[in-house]
Structure 1
Amino acid sequence: MTSPVTLITGSSSGIGLEIAVQAAGGGHTVVATMRDLAKAHRLRDAARAIGVTLDIRQLDVTDADSIAACIDGVVDTHGRLDALVNNAGAGHVGTIENESLDTVRDVMEVNFFGVVAVTKAALPHLRASGGRVVTVSSVGGAVGQPFSEAYCAAKFAVEGFLESLAPVAETVGVRVSIVEPGAVASDFVPNIGLDRASMVADAGAYGPALDAYLARSGQSFANAQSSADAAAAVVAVLDSSAPTLRVQTSAGASAFVGTKLVDLDGGAVLGMTRTWVAAAD
């Protein structure tokens, strides 16, 4: 069989880097993309360490010209596109009274509209190849979490978009899947640039709740899944002959998302998340 041509966004570090290397090791022709090619050294080193070759290209998921140039270039070079992995995204912590609407729009632009724009551009080529779209969402795409309003809103939107697209895309031979990691030990959280003390000091009336939430989050990430393990779940979806719509990357993520999927009145989710923002006695 021809090696499937797989484009991955957000490949400079973390889950995206691991997806690129593992997929290439598994026989995919990987086009690994990132916004800033100056950050490609870690990816190149990881690929070299296991003896695989990657096609590394620039792609900014918030820039229509960058998207078009990248996808057109991939098809010109490789003659086809078999899979798209939407992995690029950015974390965010904040609550709406204390931040601007422009900040919320920026979070939506990267985490939601970026997925929509790249998927739209890729679909004609995926339709031609009978390919698939695999999108890295989050357990935050199923369960709303304190001080993650904009981020979870974006991930909820991603999941609604893809869940709605899936049956339509399937009629033209394209499979759609959503992968939901929980806490993952990667650069994703450090890249948010959290300064707990200053954030709590600036949070005003929300300070005690934010302090409690950040303390709980620190404990969660202390026991986080590795990027490699989370990426393996994504690659398994890429290679599956019958991929499901929704996949979690760990038993903990499945249990967490399961809280929402059986919670018809919302009481179970609120009962859980209220404890995250309760100040210690």
Structure 2
Amino acid sequence: MKIALVTGTSTGIGLETAVLAAKAGYEVVATMRNTDKAAALLERLPDADVRQLDVTDPDSVRACVDGVIADHGRLDALINNAGAGHLGTIELESVDDVRDVMEVNFFGVVQVTKAALPHLRAAQGRLITVTSVGGVVGQPFNEAYCAAKFAVEGWMESLAPVVGKLGVAVSVIEPGAVATEFVANVRADRDVEALVAGAGDYQPVINGYLARTQQAFSAAQSARECAETVVGALTAAEPRFRYQSSESAAGFTAVKLADADGSAVLALTASWLGA
């Protein structure tokens, strides 16, 4: 049986992806930073192999991937889903705040991918990363978050033709608004009321942004719908590089992307590498 490692599976897109990947025939290694939060997943997927993984901790990453190989003997797919939201703007926060966002959302992806790649090459497997429409279009008060997601998209788009020559298919999934605990986690990460109260001259524009965001999330797609896109990329005979998880996400990114599925860019860069 093929083995899929999914990060960030305690809630939301990661949880739903783990469930659907199992239904698609994969044995799922479901990872999360705090395995005390595994109850919701195990209720849906009792046979899941739940493991602790903090994507920001190199020792945790190494131990998790080594453990998967020791116990299962192979790794056919990595689905990078773990991440954290963040609201703020640079005049109102520290550079260390920005570094923290990059550490979770970019370097975490880099660390897990580096550890998994030798095994994905051996299996001729799949590397899938949940990014965001914020990895394509920069959004107000999401400077650090969008910078991290832009970085992930650029890194994966650069990596894709290289490892593609060695048999690993790379895809990114770009959700728009998704009805998960992500927004609640953003609020917990940086109290919105405190942000607004301390915003000074920025207060009118941040209030406008928050009103628009509340409206957008009132029409959000479900985490399961987004996970269906992820697992579609996992099981596709010839996966694309870029997938948007909803019509609204596709429309939003199309404002910036003429090459909506990434095929033209990858065809160009792959041609640089010879036959």
**2:88 aligned with 1:90:** no
Displacement of 1:45 in angstroms is 1.1
Displacement of 1:201 in angstroms is 1.3
Aligned AA (1:35) = R
Alignment of 1:132-281 (within 5 A): 132-193=126-187, 195-262=191-258
For 1:82 and 1:197, how far apart are their aligned partners in 2?
A: 44
TM-score by length of 2: 0.92
For 1:31 and 1:16, how far apart are their aligned partners in 2?
A: 11
CA displacement 1:85-128 (0-9 Å, x = unmatched)? 00000000000011001100000000000001100100000010
> What fraction of aligned residue pairs are identical, expressed as a percent?
61
Displacement of 1:20 in angstroms is 0.3
Give the 3-state SS of the residue equivalent to 2:201 in structure 1: helix
**Residue matched to 1:76:** 70
Structure 2 CA distance for partners of 1:195 and 1:64, relative to 1, 3 Å? closer
CA displacement 1:223-273 (0-9 Å, x = unmatched)? 00000000000000000110000000011000000001149xxxxxxxxxx
Give the number of equivalent residue pairs: 257
Displacement of 1:195 in angstroms is 4.4
Residues 139, 253 of structure 1: 8 Å contact kept: yes
TM-score by length of 1: 0.90
Query: In angstroms, what is the RMSD of aligned CA positions?
Result: 1.1
Give the 3-state SS of the residue equivalent to 1:133 in structure 2: strand
Give the 3-state SS of the residue equivalent to 2:5 in structure 1: strand
**2:7 aligned with 1:4:** no
Residues 34, 58 of structure 1: 8 Å contact kept: yes
CA displacement 1:129-163 (0-9 Å, x = unmatched)? 10110000000000000000000000000000000
Residue of structure 2 aligned with 1:104, choices 98, 101, 119: 98
Residue of structure 2 aligned with 1:29, choices 12, 27, 30: 27
**5+ long unaligned stretches in structure 1:** 264-281
Displacement of 1:197 in angstroms is 3.4
**5+ long unaligned stretches in structure 2:** 260-275
For 1:187 and 1:4, how far apart are their aligned partners in 2?
A: 29
Give the 3-state SS of the residue equivalent to 2:50 in structure 1: strand
